Structure 1
Amino acid sequence: MFKSVAKLAVVLGIVTGGYLVGQSPTEAQSLKASYIAVGASALVPYGWVDFCNRYAGECATKPMPALDVNFTPQSFKVIKRINAWVNSNIKAKADNDHWGMVDRWDYPTDGYGDCEDFVLLKRRLLMEEGFPRQGLLVTVVKDERGDGHAVLTVKTNQGEFILDNLVEEVKPWSRVPYKFVKRQSQSDPNLWVDIGEETSAPLVVSR
């Protein structure tokens, strides 16, 4: 699977340096971010469970101590570059149209995917750049319409930032217009934790 992702990057022309949008490194240094308050354990999304059933090797991980991404102008360059490249090169396509099912989390190796597929690819590429898994957290939110959506939270030692397929700019979590629902635990990607008010109903991420 990793080879497929790497092949996708080569075929679609990802560059390993210099492709930047949004804030300059100087502006990155001035960004003010804070931390999200997380709560008790949460129900693991069906999409992640199904993804793990198909890519067991990626999810057969051992718990690890929490570790934040070291926020520097250079690491922020990489975060922005990968976010911009994935957003520019993957075309949005709903799961019903793509896979013929309501919800499927997968790598967009054919160049198409919905929100969680964007997230999974960004997470994978950042890990390949040396970013710690514990700081790259798949996160479920509700958008302004109350619909389910997925973003990638990058937890750094300078606060938490959101990578979103609907927005080019990498923003502090407090500056996105979403209600945060739950996300992966830092110590174990197969455990999830609540964010904010507890939600009991399953949430299908669709955008």
Structure 2
Amino acid sequence: MFYKRFLHKLSFILTNLTEKKIISLNLTNYRECKKFIEKYYEIISEICFKFAIDIDGLLDKNIKEFKEIVKIAFKLVQVNFAEESKIYKEEKMKFYIQRWCEDIQDNKKRFLDSTLNRKRRKIVLDKIVIEKNSVKQLISDKELIENELIEHFRSFAGKKLNSNEKLKGRWIRQYSPIQDINECWYNEVIQPISESE
């Protein structure tokens, strides 16, 4: 974006051309004014050349004349930046609309993710800390990380429940049949559906 770069630079120059800054930098003095203009001459001349603004004798201008030239350049750059931004946004919209249409046919996963505003979630593990024999260790080797992760996911849930074990304590009451429920209530539910229904 050509104009965006110059918009920031011209904005910075104009902040140094306020009445307070002109006085504090002593820019009413011819030598100080010339030094200031020389400092930004390359930027101003490039912009003025782009817009065909006459800058003959720019180094001999006083600070108020220089400020007016910078203001004119700033306004021209601002208008062109707005136009450039508009074109850029339209091109981006066209690109994403075209990609969306192609995704309907070719990449249904990306289409659905985009439509449902799903964020892509991914975890990158390039380092892990493990503890063996009460000693913590940092691992950054890819193969070791992969092996440690496989081992972790095999054993992280603890031992498997054994269905042969007897229930103890409150769980016996929790899983015992409820006395208030009459089994005959469900007799009709398990019968096959008749033609009259």
TM-score by shorter chain over 0.5 = no
Q: Higher helix proportion, which one?
A: 2
The structure in which a higher percent of residues are strand is 1
For normalisation by structure 2, the TM-score amounts to 0.22
TM-score under structure 1 length normalisation = 0.21
* Structure whose CA Rg is larger: 2
